[in-house]
Chains A and B, each alone.
Chain A
């Protein structure tokens, strides 16, 4: 079960580093594993929403469709993919 609050906790801690760049793209660096995640502008937007406390997948989809010209189905697909990726890379600790 993906826990958005657990992802947010890592994003807001000093275990990770994130930076949005001039062209809207950005990176999230996992400082424990020295891994870098490069994201496009919608990916960075969602990362910021999670870091700022978005409580559910539905919140993220709504924020995405409100801000970008993207349909509901695409937004749902993109949000699910991103949080799955963030969960596996940043928050999920096996065992």
Chain B
């Protein structure tokens, strides 16, 4: 018999942000809290928390597919009308109101007890809650290579996941290879936090890893699934959940190159890359002025404080990833002008 739905408070200690999941099955709330590195409390009233109200709606269209469980790209449609945005995923409908600290999420009955689908369903509300807390949900990687903490942005297939795998093989640290939170800490500093505990690596990316490292990773999901999952452990020095970035690199694959090319980027190009990496584009809509201002302020601070580079990686990424990353790190040190924390 499935767990009864109830109210659960998730605490993002670093931000600070608290999210109250209402009408959520207990096992789902605990799974989401585990993935998001959040302590969770049941039935705790907190008037300052962002509230996410779940309601079952059997009329929603839902097409379950076992093989899509860990596919990366989620198809999301957005409708913005007046001060309200509706985010539509298969089996879920999220309604957000500008400046409001409540999200209403209708879910198909088959979604309600699936922790992974419920986590996806909550993503839009999380993005809104983060913006209200002056934090940003970004599509990007965060890595520490040769002691250099790098925020790495790039479009689909740019190679973020492969660089993350190569970072592991060089003895570096991965905070996230795909999704992260940019937030302010200690009044005016900027930091990055992994969004999820599990790190998803594509099959092709794993091929750059030595066999010993591959053996540490655990493959889950159906055999046809293109992704591997590593569940990070607190004791594992290859993974951390937070870092203070020292630079921003925007990654491009360039198959004509053998090695790499590193060029300084203007602040405008760096800001454009952050806007494109924003996982909550609806919050830049004019109907959400407060959220828009909070996000732009955060990104402008980042491009004003950190040096930015365009990093073009050639075929050496797959042929000799460790040597390539050491060379990139050395070149970044030569260019200098950044903080190393």
Instruction: Determine the residue in chain A with the shortest Cβ distance to B292.
Output: A17
Q: State whether A36 and B272 are in contact (beta carbons under 8 Å apart), knowing that A14-B286, A29-B284, A31-B284 are contacts in the complex.
A: yes
B335 on the A face (CB < 8 A)? no
A25/B266 in contact, CB under 8 A: yes
Q: Which residues of A contact B275 (CB under 8 A)?
A: 27, 29, 36
The answer for the CA separation of A29 and B300 in the assembled complex, in Å, is 14
Q: How many residues of A contact B (CB 8 A)?
A: 19
B198 on the A face (CB < 8 A)? no
B271/A19 in contact, CB under 8 A: yes
B303/A36 in contact, CB under 8 A: no
B268, B284, B303: the one within 8 Å of A40 (CB): B268
Instruction: Determine the residue in chain B with the shortest Cβ distance to A13.
Output: B286
Q: Which residues of B contact A36 (CB under 8 A)?
A: 271-272, 275-276
Q: Which residues of B contact A27 (CB under 8 A)?
A: 268, 271-272, 275
Q: Which residues of B contact A21 (CB under 8 A)?
A: 266-268, 271, 300, 303-304
Quick one: which of A19, A25, A44 has the most chain B CB within 10 A? A25
Q: Which residues of A contact B285 (CB under 8 A)?
A: 31
Chain B's interface size range is 10 to 19
The answer for the CA separation of A21 and B276 in the assembled complex, in Å, is 17
B269 on the A face (CB < 8 A)? yes
A62 on the B face (CB < 8 A)? no
The answer for the CA separation of A27 and B269 in the assembled complex, in Å, is 8
One digit per residue, 1 when the CB lies within 8 angstroms of any chain A CB and 0 when it does not, for chain B 253-293 equals: 00000000000001111011001100001001110010010
A15, A22, A38: the one within 8 Å of B269 (CB): A38
B108 CB to nearest chain A CB (Å) = 28
A39 on the B face (CB < 8 A)? yes
Instruction: Determine the residue in chain B with the shortest Cβ distance to A21.
Output: B267
One digit per residue, 1 when the CB lies within 8 angstroms of any chain B CB and 0 when it does not, for chain A 1-23 equals: 00000000000001101010111
A67 on the B face (CB < 8 A)? no
The answer for the CA separation of A88 and B212 in the assembled complex, in Å, is 53
B316 on the A face (CB < 8 A)? no
A39 CB to nearest chain B CB (Å) = 6
B286/A19 in contact, CB under 8 A: no
One digit per residue, 1 when the CB lies within 8 angstroms of any chain A CB and 0 when it does not, for chain B 181-216 equals: 000000000000000000000000000000000000
Q: Which residues of A contact B284 (CB under 8 A)?
A: 17, 29, 31, 34
The answer for the CA separation of A47 and B331 in the assembled complex, in Å, is 35
A23/B272 in contact, CB under 8 A: no
Instruction: Determine the residue in chain B with the shortest Cβ distance to A43.
Output: B268
A41 CB to nearest chain B CB (Å) = 9
B294 on the A face (CB < 8 A)? no
B332 on the A face (CB < 8 A)? no
B15 on the A face (CB < 8 A)? no
Within 8 A of A (CB), among B149-201: none
B217 on the A face (CB < 8 A)? no
A23 CB to nearest chain B CB (Å) = 5
Tell me the A residues contacting B by CB distance below 8 Å: 14-15, 17, 19, 21-23, 25-27, 29, 31, 34, 36-40, 44
Sample (11) of A-B pairs whose CB atoms are under 8 Å apart = A19-B271, A21-B266, A21-B303, A21-B304, A25-B266, A27-B268, A27-B275, A31-B285, A34-B284, A36-B272, A44-B268
Tell me the B residues contacting A by CB distance below 8 Å: 266-269, 271-272, 275-276, 281, 284-286, 289, 292, 296, 300, 303-304
Other A-B pairs, 9, CB within 8 Å; known A19-B300, A25-B266: A15-B286, A19-B296, A21-B268, A25-B268, A27-B275, A29-B284, A36-B276, A38-B271, A40-B268
